[in-house]
Structure 1
Amino acid sequence: MALETDKRNSREAKKVGGNFQRHDSLYGDAERVSDTGYVVSECCGLDTHTYYMRQDSWARTLHLAFQCIGVIYGDIGTSPLYVYASTFTSGISNVDDLYGVLSLILYSLILLPMIKYVFIVLYANDNGDGGTFALYSLISRYAKVSLIPNQQAEDAMVSNYALETVSAPMKRAQWTKEMLESSKAAKLAIFLLTVLGTSMVISDGVLTPAISVISAVSGLQQKAPQLKQDQMVWISVAILVVLFAVQRFGTDKVGYSFAPIILLWFMFIAGIGIYNLVEYDIGVLRAFYPKYIVDYFRRNGRDAWVSLGGILLCFTGTEAMFADLGHFNIRSIQLSFSFILFPAVSLAYIGQAAFLRKHPEHVHDTFYKSIPGPMFWPTFIVAVSAAIIASQAMISGSFAIISQSQTLGCFPRVKVLHTSKLYEGQVYIPEVNFVLGLLCVVVTLAFKTTTNIGNAYGICVTAVMVITTILLAVVMLLIWRVSIWLIIPFCLVFGSIETVYLSSVLYKFKQGGYLPIVSATVLVTIMGVWHYVHVKKYWYELEHIVTNQEMQELAQAHDIKRTSGVGFLYTELVQGVPPIFPHLIEKMPFVHSVLVFVSVKHLPIPRVEVAERFRFRRVESRISKMFRCVARYGYIDTVEGAKEFSASLVEGLQSYIEEGHFMTTVEIEDTEPETTTTSITESHTRTRSSTVHIEEALRPSETTELTQPRMGSSYSAHSSGRISDEQSRAIAEEKQFVQRELQKGVVYILGETEIWAGPNSSFLKKIVVDYMYSFLRKNFRQGEKAFAIPRQQVLKVGMVYEI
């Protein structure tokens, strides 16, 4: 019913200057949280596909295909360094086992990285961006699974907010949507899966450098056998320290110069593979016959199952193809994987199998032993370079994921530095870099061999794959609306393969498998605690929102004076006046000449166009010079520094002042019943229903303004006719007033809220809120550092919330 109402409203809406009139939820002092879902794309006049593929020319696609070789294939491309050693940890007892292992490697590469990811998962992108959080944000747009109740109907009007309507025949998609929105358990499950997948990828950022560098450096022992394993480990540690030390310079210049090195690496391993195949045993090509997999398991039984923990290392780094999609396009990855990566690594594994058929005793150092003599040093140098590149990709990916987690309220505040003006996703986080580097060195010193690290590495890889399969099944049901007879085989085939692999590495829990589980548990705890209190804090503010009547009583009880300058009062609420404001007035009855309640909101989309960033509305009458502003960003957008942000906001505010006079007027009473549904809780329904909007109560008898300014656009008057000279003067005077006050200075008002568990809370809740959250809040960055606000311009207001 609500969906049909939204459709009818969109058809009846009149355009103003090329933009739809729309209800603005900033008008609600205590906006009711809709349970009917987002406004779908038909409201915006959009007819979009749920997946996104850039329509690039073939020349650009080929160029991107070359570039992505150096960015996303470093990890999976360097796996031939250690797969056979990790698989045959006790040596090769039967050379015929090589047929089964090679067959498993080849078909694993075909089924998981190629068919599942390259030709299926890549299409489940979020406006061109991939990764676990991209899947979560994509699902969040189609179903209200976010635990923070800050969804607004106007968000669906953003141009990148591409949605499709749910067609009547596809009842299953509607049922899935309703189930996700009505079930708190389902929301928590999707959130926990996302956080767990993120934690595993971050753990991958610790293990990839360790295993890649150790395996590459171990080649030195071929030419210098006097070097012991401990010495190899310390050489690896030195390389890792340098690797993490140079992260602060960014990956922009480095990352996109890696392609020639990785391409050279692929040429080397492919050429060496062909040489070994011809030189030793061309008969290993029979491994393409899958019967050898059955024979391998029949012959070895439990040992064959245990060996899967080493075989799965052949597809480590697969998730990077999806996570780094934002810098490329689908076709470029499909081309580079199918015609460069897959043939090269396949030939490498085939050649090594042929070599081992003749020299099974060299299984622990297969790669370097199989290199023809004159090619050793060039291959060694390229191998070390490729290992460093593989490490670089996962480290950068960890930075990007933590940055995305922070924007969605799932990670404590850290300093995020954007290292590239050209590529928004490339960031550097000093604190995280230090912790990752330290852990990587510790892991290298503690585990020492690729076999032990591989046991831990495999859990990260397979866990993320299983999570991706589950989330993709939700995407298929909710968004793609694929036939259930296609979804079931997808889940059975890929889910069963990944589960078998996961069970194998879990068997080696004591041999190193515990490491990613412990690290993931710590990360999930940090992210879960932070998000839990973040949600509780938002609900507290929403339930204690300042109403019209309370604003009037506040003005009567205090002789509020106006002081010069512009004040930005930061709040997480996207509607209404936060409870920190009356607390401020009670302690200090001064308000800046221009006061803006600012909410920085991250939408579940990668990017928000600059022209659609700010939404404004007035608080009280025109003469009050008080406004609300929601600054909307995508989860990979850069939040500007304080100076740039304030300049952009004031520019948008002046556009709002001017354009508000040109917009066609709409009565809120005609639209509000159709754009809101149920109240949040019974306890504050009374607050909302008993009060009228602040604007309506205190403003002159004027019609309501719509508040979606677009910079550089102009609106023509319709029903109101031409603007009068008096109105023109009023606009000019108000804009000049704002500009004058801006020049007098800007003060950023931040709430320094102490969060405590209520007196009737459970013991566990008190532990989580009073101790764990308090520890995180005190030891991570505060608000002014996160927003890059100069200390001399910060005014903090202390307040205690009992949640």
Structure 2
Amino acid sequence: MSSDVVNSPDETHDQGLKSKKLSCGELRRMDSLDMETGTVHGQSHHSSRGSKNWSVILHLAFQSIGIVYGDIGTSPLYVYASTFTDGVKHNDDILGVLSLIFYTLTLIPLFKYVLIVLKANDNGGGGTFALYSLICRYAKVGLIPSQQAEDREVSNFRLELPSKRLQMASKLKSKLEKSNFAKLFLLFATMLGTSMVIGDGVLTPCISVLSAVGGIKVALDSMTQDMIVWISVVILVCLFMVQRFGTDKVGYSFAPIICVWFALISGIGVYNFIKFDPTVVKAINPKYIIDYFRRNKKQAWISLGGVVLSITGTEALFADVGHFTVQSIQISMCTITYPALVLAYTGQASFLRKHHEDVGDIFFKSIPHGLYWPMFVVAVSASIIASQAMISGTFSIIQQSLSLGCFPRVKIVHTSTKYEGQVYIPEVNYLLMLACVGVTVGFKTTTKIGNAYGIAVVFVMTLTSSFLVLVMIMIWKTHILLVISYVVVIGSIELLYLSSVLYKFDQGGYLPLAFALVLMTIMYIWNDVYRRKYYYDLDHKISPEMVKELVASTNFSRIPGLAIFYSELVHGIPPIFKHYMENVSALHSVLVFVSIKSLPISKVPMEERFLFRRVNPDNLYVFRCVVRYGYTDVRSEEEPFERLLVERLKEFIREDMMMTPTLTHSNEDMVSGELQNELINGENENEESKRIDEERRQEDVDKDIEAIDRATQAGVVHLIGEIEVMAKKGSKLGKKVLINVGYNILKKNLRQKEKTFDIPHKRMLKVGMIYEL
């Protein structure tokens, strides 16, 4: 174990703040990247998300219609049928349900998500992990002690905070930081929300496609339920097969169909409204909601499980914002989606007032006769597209959870060169397809799937609201009366809906919770062992002094070439290097310890990505490097990692040498100690000494750059630590099962590190070591 002191995250951060008072030269003498300044000059706050021109915004708004709104847009297929499962008992019940739908659509998707939640995006990224990352960035509630003072210098990291700091925000922040239970609970809630959104991504395709295809029974009596199920399965398989083409191409293909869909359902809604009962407009009066509950009591409460299906897919507004922009989604929702849905539900209510008996097939029965088959084709197409919203959202949140150490390694494919955040995950796509086919074949009807669907929808919404309250208090410094108003209005509505959908737990509602349990088990196992490994590295790290002794030892020889030694440890050099040195008697002429680090922000500008530090003495040519990624950053395959690293290393050498107030390498032989003191203190410097100093600095820079070039030309070797983990002897049974069985099964069956970073196999060397955790 290393003898050097391991700083806690709090101590590291506090020291980092104090170090701001030091000069650049003094900082560069610090002996660790923990404290080294990383002041870089890059983009302004919040990246490029807020600076897109209107042409791009409108293009993205058009694309978002096909990606984001398919789910919520096809809800008119099944909402009234799912609400009135026992038929319409009273004519005014229709007005009560229409009023519920109208205010639910207005308060949740429009007010909560479009006007409030979208503003809580993390530099353009959305979803549960975006909210969690905002909280982690402002309060030290992360469970991995990888914070560095220099991370706050990344342009995207800084938060724009109101100047007035409220006492409540400080108290809440302090309580969260001091409570381990609060930290674990936040991570648990984030995993639960992520799991529920993924479960939503499974159920959305099933219910949407089954609802649309089921409409064929209205025209063809010979069509059986089994035939409908298998037609739906074929459609679902085709849908998942096209995902590899990416959100960009899929969005342009789907958007025109959804636009036609919205035009048709709103047009038919206006037609039915005028033809059958224009008086349903009085449902805007919430009095009809009160009357509906008075008449139906418990049945009205149970029927809320059907009403909530009118806002299915709302979480996709936030989860998919990383594929688009806040403005583009706000534009498309306010101008197209919301008006079309209100007109569609109003028209169906007008038709239902005159045709109570058709409530089970209200959507297709309310279509004018001449439009039935065209509408059926568009409905099937739209239901296919409805699945796209949650599939895209699932890809986004899994990418986020992966980058924050909460999900096993999978392949992330960046599908668009024009738009940030559009990703595709082959393994997840395949598993989603199998799950969708299994649910469709197993449940067969939309009624049971609808019971499960409601739980997933409302659970995620409730968790989003909980995180948003923390953001409002701690980060936005929102006035307490506004926070209370939000909790009372939005919170009460969501809890009421949650209580209703949980009532049908045994009628299919258990399904999303079962999905969540499986996913959370996987995420917990991976994250728990990930943290244990990190703390092991931290406790056993090697000090720079020990590296200096090992490298300078006469037992080792230096061979030509550049070695890149990968590690997850940010605060120091991992113990596996000592293990390597004890078994191999040769080291390459240039050695770079690389730590891949994920920041709790969406993107890190390229010019701010690499942080370097020399391990003294300089002529050893040993460097430490932290490579920082945001959770939506995807490396371009056109720019090999090693080439970027070498270029940034040369830049660091030039900048470091020019900013060092003392001379380097052989300066002690060239310049007297007295002259060095004069140079360091900046006293009595004359033009001649400056000129000599600059010349010698340049000589040293040229010498180092030449050494790097020579090593690169001799060959680059990638050294990867292949860590095997096992529970310590005497560990409890639960710990043994978690590490020896659970984690190792996941690790062996999922993507390895070299595949994740596209490391060439011919130049890769694995160094094995066993950690007893």
Q: What is the TM-score when the length of structure 2 is the normalising length?
A: 0.91
Corresponding residue SS for 2:193:
helix
d(CA) in 2 for partners of 1:213, 1:242 = 12
Whether contact under 8 Å (1:641, 1:787) holds in the other structure is no
Match of 2:593 among 597, 610, 615: 597
d(CA) in 2 for partners of 1:335, 1:168 = 31
Q: Which moved more, 1:757-766 or 1:787-796?
A: 757-766
Whether contact under 8 Å (1:212, 1:387) holds in the other structure is yes
d(CA) in 2 for partners of 1:453, 1:384 = 18
Is 1:373 aligned to residue 369 of structure 2? yes
State the match for 2:739 in structure 1.
769
Deviations 1:430-482 (A, max 9, x none): 21111110010010011111111111111111111111111011101110111
d(CA) in 1 for partners of 2:244, 2:597 = 28
Written as runs of structure 1 = structure 2, the 5 A alignment for 1:174-323 is 174-323=170-319
State the match for 2:356 in structure 1.
360
Whether contact under 8 Å (2:266, 2:344) holds in the other structure is yes
Whether contact under 8 Å (2:125, 2:322) holds in the other structure is yes
Deviations 1:69-91 (A, max 9, x none): 22211111111011111111222
Distance 1:253 1:316, change over 3 A: same
State the match for 2:61 in structure 1.
65
Whether contact under 8 Å (2:548, 2:617) holds in the other structure is no
State the match for 1:163 in structure 2.
159
d(CA) in 1 for partners of 2:123, 2:565 = 32
Whether contact under 8 Å (1:217, 1:232) holds in the other structure is yes
Is 1:529 aligned to residue 528 of structure 2? no
d(CA) in 2 for partners of 1:782, 1:68 = 34
d(CA) in 2 for partners of 1:744, 1:556 = 21
Corresponding residue SS for 1:599:
strand
Residue 278 of structure 1 deviates from its aligned partner by: 1.3
d(CA) in 2 for partners of 1:47, 1:629 = 22
d(CA) in 1 for partners of 2:659, 2:374 = 69
Residue 52 of structure 1 deviates from its aligned partner by: 9.8
Distance 1:431 1:329, change over 3 A: closer
Match of 1:28 among 29, 32, 57: 32
State the match for 1:727 in structure 2.
697
Structure 2 counterpart of 1:581, one-letter code: F
Residue 58 of structure 1 deviates from its aligned partner by: 5.4
Whether contact under 8 Å (2:35, 2:149) holds in the other structure is no
State the match for 1:419 in structure 2.
415
Corresponding residue SS for 1:121:
helix
Is 1:801 aligned to residue 771 of structure 2? yes
Q: Which moved more, 1:419-428 or 1:100-109?
A: 419-428
Whether contact under 8 Å (2:46, 2:156) holds in the other structure is no
Whether contact under 8 Å (2:723, 2:769) holds in the other structure is yes
d(CA) in 2 for partners of 1:569, 1:371 = 66
d(CA) in 2 for partners of 1:473, 1:48 = 27
Whether contact under 8 Å (2:548, 2:616) holds in the other structure is no
Distance 1:370 1:304, change over 3 A: same
Whether contact under 8 Å (2:399, 2:412) holds in the other structure is yes
Query: How big is the alpha-carbon RMSD for the aligned residues of Structure 1 and Structure 2?
Result: 3.0
Distance 1:597 1:325, change over 3 A: same
The count of residues paired between Structure 1 and Structure 2 equals 745
Q: Which moved more, 1:114-123 or 1:542-551?
A: 542-551
Written as runs of structure 1 = structure 2, the 5 A alignment for 1:582-731 is 582-641=578-637, 644-663=640-659, 665=661, 723-731=693-701
Residue 556 of structure 1 deviates from its aligned partner by: 7.0
Is 1:506 aligned to residue 510 of structure 2? no
Residue 367 of structure 1 deviates from its aligned partner by: 0.7
Residue 230 of structure 1 deviates from its aligned partner by: 0.9
Unpaired runs of 5+ residues, structure 1, are: 15-19, 668-699, 704-716
Unpaired runs of 5+ residues, structure 2, are: 1-9, 664-671, 678-686
d(CA) in 1 for partners of 2:30, 2:502 = 50
Residue 6 of structure 1 deviates from its aligned partner by: 7.1
Written as runs of structure 1 = structure 2, the 5 A alignment for 1:395-544 is 395-544=391-540
d(CA) in 1 for partners of 2:423, 2:27 = 36
Whether contact under 8 Å (1:51, 1:125) holds in the other structure is no
Deviations 1:652-689 (A, max 9, x none): 0111111211125499xxxxxxxxxxxxxxxxxxxxxx
State the match for 2:345 in structure 1.
349
Is 1:96 aligned to residue 92 of structure 2? yes
Residue 366 of structure 1 deviates from its aligned partner by: 0.9
State the match for 1:709 in structure 2.
none
Residue 758 of structure 1 deviates from its aligned partner by: 2.2
d(CA) in 1 for partners of 2:644, 2:552 = 34
Is 1:786 aligned to residue 766 of structure 2? no
Corresponding residue SS for 2:509:
helix
Residue 579 of structure 1 deviates from its aligned partner by: 0.3
Deviations 1:249-302 (A, max 9, x none): 222212134322211111100000011111111122121111111111111111
State the match for 1:675 in structure 2.
none
Q: Which moved more, 1:564-573 or 1:250-259?
A: 250-259
d(CA) in 2 for partners of 1:596, 1:26 = 18
Whether contact under 8 Å (2:322, 2:420) holds in the other structure is no
Structure 2 counterpart of 1:504, one-letter code: S
Distance 1:587 1:225, change over 3 A: same
Corresponding residue SS for 1:616:
strand
State the match for 1:17 in structure 2.
none
Q: Which moved more, 1:90-99 or 1:498-507?
A: 90-99
Corresponding residue SS for 1:607:
coil
Corresponding residue SS for 1:409:
coil
Q: Which moved more, 1:734-743 or 1:160-169?
A: 160-169
Whether contact under 8 Å (2:46, 2:155) holds in the other structure is no
Deviations 1:101-146 (A, max 9, x none): 1111011001111111111111111122221111111111111111
d(CA) in 2 for partners of 1:219, 1:385 = 13
Is 1:330 aligned to residue 300 of structure 2? no
d(CA) in 2 for partners of 1:751, 1:662 = 34
Q: What is the TM-score when the length of structure 1 is the normalising length?
A: 0.87
Whether contact under 8 Å (1:50, 1:480) holds in the other structure is no
Corresponding residue SS for 1:578:
coil
Corresponding residue SS for 2:475:
helix
Structure 2 counterpart of 1:787, one-letter code: F
d(CA) in 2 for partners of 1:56, 1:424 = 12
Match of 1:740 among 695, 707, 710: 710
Structure 1 counterpart of 2:401, one-letter code: S
Whether contact under 8 Å (1:51, 1:123) holds in the other structure is no
Structure 2 counterpart of 1:213, one-letter code: V
State the match for 2:727 in structure 1.
757
Is 1:105 aligned to residue 101 of structure 2? yes
Distance 1:446 1:183, change over 3 A: same
Corresponding residue SS for 1:119:
helix
Distance 1:558 1:388, change over 3 A: farther
Distance 1:479 1:431, change over 3 A: same
d(CA) in 1 for partners of 2:72, 2:104 = 12
Residue 743 of structure 1 deviates from its aligned partner by: 2.3
d(CA) in 1 for partners of 2:545, 2:217 = 79
Residue 792 of structure 1 deviates from its aligned partner by: 2.1
Residue 248 of structure 1 deviates from its aligned partner by: 2.0
Corresponding residue SS for 1:258:
helix
State the match for 1:680 in structure 2.
none
